[in-house]
Amino acid sequence: MSGESTVPETADQTVPWKRVHPVSPLVRGWIAVLAILYFFGQNWIENIFNAEERSGSDGGGWSFTPGLVWVIVGGVAVLLLIMGAFFLSWYFTKYQVTERHVNVNSGVVFRQQRQARIDRVQAIDIVQPLLARIFGLAELKFEVADAGSTAMRLAFIKIDDAKVLRNDILARAAGLKQDTAPAAGPAGSGHDGGASVGGGLPAGTDRVAAPAPPSGAPEAPERVVAVVPPQRLVAATLLSPWVGITVLVVIGGIIATIATHGEFTLLYMIPFFIGVVPALWGQFNQGYNFRAAMGSDGLRLSYGLLDTRHQTVPPGRVQAVMVTQGIIWRRFGWHKVVVNVAGYGSQGEDATLRSTLLPVGTRQDVLNVLGIVLPDPGTGRPAELVDAGISGAGTAEGFTTSPRSARWLSPFAYRRQGFAVTDTALFSRAGVLIHSLVIVAHERIQGILLTQGPLDRRLGLTGIQLCTTDGPISPRVKQMALATGRDLFMTQADRAAIARRLNDRDHWLEDEHHG
């Protein structure tokens, strides 16, 4: 059943509807206002200077001409129309939070009614564009289980109200029941729940426990588990592949310009820079002022330079985790952590950035983050298993690697690529220049594919594709021996089925075993 509907048939008429902040339309449409002011202002100034030139020979000053009057009247009329449209947009935009749904009504001429089931909410982001920060406002983005993009937006409300509303909705989505009547506020309760996630953290990892606040209380305390210092972010950005490619392309462009005696210029490379600059900016903006903290409702991420974002990623909503380490970052001990979260998808607005749990962090940062999203790794040596998955090779810590016949297809990687299975998750590692470790909890595996190409058949190899929700991670185990692959295919299917029956982590705060 869909997690988001366009017709809220179950709207509770006993729950009051609320309006967004009155300046919300201006925050959304300020570019249009600025463009109109620029257009009419430019014509106004030109008319003034033209009038001065015409009257300069007579020694008089400029005066209002019929054309200038019409420009002013037209500009004022357009601004009044825009302000009227903004008022109507604000007046007809209302939201309601019931025990089971979030309803948003909007639209003036064409009415739009949207509804999201709270029990299907996977994550909620608090986004503050630059102008919204000036007014102290924020936008809420709701992600549901089966949406490929943002299911619903609520823009804009006061930042404090947005935090209370986020905490309340996530607590309800987690299965926590409110024992008292909702307090006055934008959405009732600020209930955050009482999770203690840390029973299965890797050795040496900070254990975090956040007490449950009473219904209507302010946001629960949080424990910081990872911070990205500015110097590390700058160094990581400069050492990224995009910067290296850009330098090589610029050097090649200069050589081509000299060789062609100016017939080829760097202007021809503008499309390349249009693609590279946003990528570099996204990487820098996503890591600027980055902080990961543990709250009672999950992992809280905050980052951003001009536009700030506050994400909350419930551990029960994470479908797969991947830790990567490039060949240059390996020298500094830096890693990146990304996840598949139902609702984020792999495309659309900021999908990659929103799926990043740690843009650049140390080994301890990685263990802290993994301890939250994978509280029970299913082994007594979790830190050693993670180290073997990120930088190890061979059969250490229970990894099964590709057979020697795989050297014809992966001459440098076959000793490293392999998998390990614990009581709760499957670990898959691969890569030579870029090391990667993918972790998928057994209950999050939705399907398994056994694959074998023509070269694999000739060499007696096979591979397995693990199906999870859409995202930047495509979990797979590469180039196993045929017998090993068949055995993993059968046993992993059984593990996934059993784990899904035993562990309902949709209500992740309701079960003591999972926090």
Q: Name the CA dihedral angle for 146, 149, 152, 155, rounded to a multiple of 10 degrees.
A: 160
* Mean pLDDT, residues 48-77 taken together: 59
- pLDDT score of 364: 95
pLDDT digits (tens, 9 = 90+) for 459-487: 999 999 999 888 889 999 999 999 999 99
Residue 490, pLDDT > 90, answer yes
Higher pLDDT, 261 or 56: 261
Distance CA 423, CA 419 (A): 14
Higher pLDDT, 5 or 365: 365
Model confidence, pTM: 0.73
Dihedral sign for Cα atoms in the order 361, 366, 367, 373: positive
Distance CA 438, CA 417 (A): 11
* Mean pLDDT, residues 153-167 taken together: 86
Least confident of 29-38, 255-264, 393-402: 29-38
Mean residue pLDDT of the chain comes to: 78
- pLDDT score of 264: 77
- pLDDT score of 515: 39
CA of residue 241 relative to chain centroid, distance: 21
Q: How confident is the model at residue 437 (pLDDT cuts 50, 70, 90)?
A: very high
Higher pLDDT, 344 or 182: 344
User: pLDDT exceeding 90 applies to what percent of the chain?
Assistant: 31
* Mean pLDDT, residues 356-364 taken together: 93
DSSP letter string over 20-80?
--TTHHHHHHHHHHHHHHHHHHHHHHHHHHHHHHHHHTTT------HHHHHHHHHHHHHHH
Least confident of 60-64, 142-146, 153-157, 170-174: 60-64
Helix axes 382-391, 363-373, angle to 10 degrees: 120
- pLDDT score of 42: 61
Q: How confident is the model at residue 69 (pLDDT cuts 50, 70, 90)?
A: low
- pLDDT score of 3: 46
- pLDDT score of 146: 55
Residue 102, pLDDT > 60, answer yes
Across the beta sheet with 356-361, what order do the strands follow? 356-361, 335-341, 318-325, 435-441, 425-430, 418-421, 400-401
- pLDDT score of 505: 52
Please calculate the CA angle 243-249-255 and round it to the nearest 5 degrees.
140
Do residues 368 and 226 make contact, with C-beta atoms less than 8 angstroms apart? Answer: yes
- pLDDT score of 504: 56
Six token digits for residue 196:
């203690």
Helix (H) or strand (E) holding 320: strand 318-325
- pLDDT score of 193: 36
Higher pLDDT, 213 or 369: 369
Least confident of 60-64, 304-308, 404-408, 489-493: 60-64
Helix (H, G, I), strand (E, B) or coil at 292: strand
- pLDDT score of 435: 95
- pLDDT score of 35: 66
Distance CA 331, CA 383 (A): 20
3 state SS for 221-270: CCEEEEECCHHHHHHHHHCCHHHHHHHHHHHHHHHHHHHCCCCCCHHHHH
Residue 300, pLDDT > 70, answer yes
Q: How confident is the model at residue 81 (pLDDT cuts 50, 70, 90)?
A: confident
- pLDDT score of 485: 94
Q: How confident is the model at residue 220 (pLDDT cuts 50, 70, 90)?
A: low
Length of the chain: 515
- pLDDT score of 491: 94
Strand partners, 212: none
- pLDDT score of 109: 79
Residue 289, pLDDT > 50, answer yes
Cα Rg for the chain, rounded, in angstroms?
28
Residue 27, pLDDT > 60, answer yes
Higher pLDDT, 192 or 297: 297
Q: Name the CA dihedral angle for 212, 198, 376, 347, rounded to a multiple of 10 degrees.
A: 70
In single-letter form, the type of residue at position 421 comes to V
Q: How confident is the model at residue 37 (pLDDT cuts 50, 70, 90)?
A: low
Indicate the burial class of 319 (C-beta count within 10 angstroms; 0-12, 13-18, 19 or more). Answer: buried
- pLDDT score of 182: 40
Residue 383, pLDDT > 50, answer yes
Residue 413, pLDDT > 60, answer yes
pLDDT digits (tens, 9 = 90+) for 171-209: 777 666 544 434 334 433 333 333 333 334 444 444 433
- pLDDT score of 195: 34
Please calculate the CA angle 360-364-368 and round it to the nearest 5 degrees.
90
Six token digits for residue 485:
């692959």
Do residues 477 and 440 make contact, with C-beta atoms less than 8 angstroms apart? Answer: no
Please calculate the CA angle 110-115-121 and round it to the nearest 5 degrees.
145
User: pLDDT exceeding 70 applies to what percent of the chain?
Assistant: 74
Helix (H) or strand (E) holding 94: strand 94-97
Distance CA 334, CA 324 (A): 9
Cis before residue 284, ω within 30 degrees of 0? no
Q: How confident is the model at residue 256 (pLDDT cuts 50, 70, 90)?
A: confident
